[in-house]
Amino acid sequence: MKITKCWYEIKEFFVITLGAVLAGAAIFFFMLPSHLAVGSASALAMVLSNYIPLSVSAINLILNVFLLLIGFILIGPGFGIKTVYTSIMVPVSMGVFEIFFPNLESLTGDPLLDVLCYILVVGKAMAILFSHNASSGGLDIVAKIMNKYLKIDLGSAVSVSGIVVALTAVLCYDTKTVVLSVLGTYFGGIIVDHFIFGLNIKRRVCVISPKIEEITEYVLHQLHSGATLNEITGAYDKTLKKEIITIVDKHEYRKLMDFVKKVDPKAFVTVYAVNEIRYQPKK
pTM for the predicted model, two decimal places: 0.69
The 228-233 sheet, strands edge to edge:
228-233, 240-248, 202-208, 268-274
181-205: per-residue pLDDT in tens?
998 888 887 777 666 656 567 889 9
Tell me if 283 is assigned to some domain: no
Predicted confidence (pLDDT) at residue 1 exceeds the cutoff of 60: no
Residues 22 and 156 in one domain: yes
- Whats the size of the chain, residue-wise? 283
Residues 207 and 189 in one domain: no
Residues 231 and 177 in one domain: no
pLDDT for residue 137: 74
* Residue range of the domain that includes 120: 2-199
Tell me if 7 is assigned to some domain: yes
Tell me if 279 is assigned to some domain: no
215-235: per-residue pLDDT in tens?
999 999 998 888 999 988 888
Residues with Cβ within 8 Å of residue 232, at least 6 apart in sequence: 208, 240, 241, 242, 243
Residues 145 and 211 in one domain: no
The domain boundary, picked from 173, 199, 225, lies at 199
pLDDT for residue 209: 92
Q: Give the mean model confidence (pLDDT) for residues 29-56.
A: 91
Parallel/antiparallel/unpaired status of strands 202-208 and 268-274: antiparallel
pLDDT for residue 200: 63
Tell me how far apart the alpha carbons of residues 15 and 69 are, in angstroms, rounded to a whole number: 25
Residues 62 and 163 in one domain: yes
Predicted confidence (pLDDT) at residue 16 exceeds the cutoff of 60: yes
Tell me how far apart the alpha carbons of residues 1 and 246 are, in angstroms, rounded to a whole number: 30
Q: What are phi and psi of 31, to 5 degrees?
A: -80, -50
Residues 37 and 68 in one domain: yes
Give the other-Cβ count within 10 Å of 63's Cβ: 21
Bridge partners of residue 246, in order along the sequence: 205
Nearest in space to 59 (alpha carbons), one of 82, 42, 76: 42
Tell me how far apart the alpha carbons of residues 72 and 85 are, in angstroms, rounded to a whole number: 15
Are the CB atoms for 98 and 29 separated by under 8 Å? no
Residues 210 and 177 in one domain: no
Element (H, E) at 24: helix 2-26
pLDDT for residue 216: 93
pLDDT for residue 278: 67
Tell me if 209 is assigned to some domain: yes
pLDDT for residue 282: 55
The domain boundary, picked from 142, 166, 199, lies at 199
Tell me if 280 is assigned to some domain: no
The domain boundary, picked from 199, 220, 255, lies at 199
Tell me if 167 is assigned to some domain: yes
Give residue 138's identity as a one-letter amino acid code: G
Residues 242 and 266 in one domain: yes
Are the CB atoms for 90 and 62 separated by under 8 Å? no
- The alpha carbon of residue 65 and the mean position of all alpha carbons in its chain are separated, in whole angstroms, by 22
pLDDT for residue 96: 93
Residues 49 and 185 in one domain: yes
Tell me if 281 is assigned to some domain: no
Parallel/antiparallel/unpaired status of strands 202-208 and 228-233: unpaired
Residues 235 and 192 in one domain: no
Q: Which segment of 21-25, 170-174, 277-281 scores lowest on mean pLDDT?
A: 277-281
Tell me if 282 is assigned to some domain: no
Q: Give the mean model confidence (pLDDT) for residues 257-282.
A: 83
- Give the domain CATH number at 230: 3.30.70.120
Give the other-Cβ count within 10 Å of 264's Cβ: 18
Residues with Cβ within 8 Å of residue 167, at least 6 apart in sequence: 178, 181, 182
| Number of domains observed in the structure of the chain | 2
Rg of the chain over Cα atoms, rounded to whole angstroms, equals 24
Residues 99 and 211 in one domain: no
Residues 80 and 30 in one domain: yes
Mean pLDDT (the chain) is 85
Q: Which segment of 17-21, 49-53, 161-165, 247-251 scores lowest on mean pLDDT?
A: 247-251
Tell me how far apart the alpha carbons of residues 246 and 204 are, in angstroms, rounded to a whole number: 6
Tell me how far apart the alpha carbons of residues 99 and 253 are, in angstroms, rounded to a whole number: 47
Integer CA distances (angstroms), 151 to 12, 100, 160, 206, 272, in order? 33, 44, 13, 41, 34
If pLDDT is split at 50, 70 and 90, which confidence band does 245 have? Answer: very high
Are the CB atoms for 260 and 222 separated by under 8 Å? no
- Strand ranges (E), 88-237: 202-208, 228-233
